[in-house]
């Protein structure tokens, strides 16, 4: 939720407004009047690690298994506390309803002593297939900002 709107007005021009996003989230256009703050959401780029601990990120799309995807925490972001887990979608376009579950307490997958959010997605439901090189993740924070991130994938069959 943005704390308010910022309005820019210049003589002779239509006043433009944008939501005031909490850093590092930034206003992102969704739809509607491009001069109105209500046409934007506050979006936060997040760092995503497909198959944490495995740099190849191989995805077997014929498997009935699940794919682990970590959302990394940093100084300004506590992923296990701030991500609305039920909102997460992951896959070829980012909007696939493929979430199975997330670890409830988080775990530090990159050794920076911050707990990261590790979620598991049904591989088949991700829509990833031959030729895809990226898995996209989308969701929301518990305060209503959107989150988005991506990581490379290697579709192995």
Nearest distance from C-beta of residue 118 to Ca ion, angstroms: 10
Least distance from Ca ion to the Cβ atom of residue 114, Å: 4
72 vs 153 by CB, closer to Ca ion: 72
The 8-class DSSP code of residue 1 comes to: -
Q: How far apart are CA 121 and CA 46, in angstroms?
A: 17
76: how many CB neighbours lie within 10 A of its CB?
Answer: 11
Size of the site for Ca ion (CB under 5 A): 5
CB of 5 to Ca ion, least distance (A): 34
Q: If binding is defined by CB under 5 A, does position 49 make contact with Ca ion? A: no
DSSP character at residue 106:
-
Q: Which residue, 42 or 109, is less far from Ca ion as judged by CB? A: 109
**Is the CB of 71 or the CB of 99 nearer to Ca ion?**
71
Query: 25: buried, middle or exposed (CB in 10 Å: 19+, 13-18, 0-12)?
Result: buried
The interface with Ca ion within residues 88-127 (CB under 5 A) comprises 108, 110, 112, 114, 116
Element (H, E) at 154: strand 154-155
Identity of the residue, 21 or 119, whose beta carbon is nearer to Ca ion in the bound complex: 119
Could you give the angle at the alpha carbon of 60 between the alpha carbons of 54 and 64, nearest 5°? 115
Contacts to Ca ion by CB under 5 A: 108, 110, 112, 114, 116
């Amino acid at each position: 939720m943005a704390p308010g709107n910022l309005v820019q007005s210049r003589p002779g021009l239509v006043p433009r407004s944008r939501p005031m996003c909490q850093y590092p989230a930034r206003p992102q256009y969704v739809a509607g009047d491009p001069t109105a703050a209500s046409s934007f959401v506050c979006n936060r780029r997040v760092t995503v690690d497909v198959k944490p601990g495995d740099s190849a990120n191989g995805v077997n799309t014929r498997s009935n298994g699940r794919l682990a995807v970590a959302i990394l925490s940093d100084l300004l972001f506590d992923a296990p506390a701030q991500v609305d887990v039920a909102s997460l979608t992951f896959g070829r376009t980012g909007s696939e309803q493929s979430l199975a579950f997330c670890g409830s307490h988080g775990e530090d997958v990159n050794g920076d002593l911050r707990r990261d959010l590790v979620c598991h997605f049904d591989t088949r439901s991700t829509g990833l297939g031959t030729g895809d090189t990226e898995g996209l993740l989308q969701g929301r924070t518990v305060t209503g900002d959107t989150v988005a991130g991506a990581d490379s994938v290697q579709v192995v069959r």
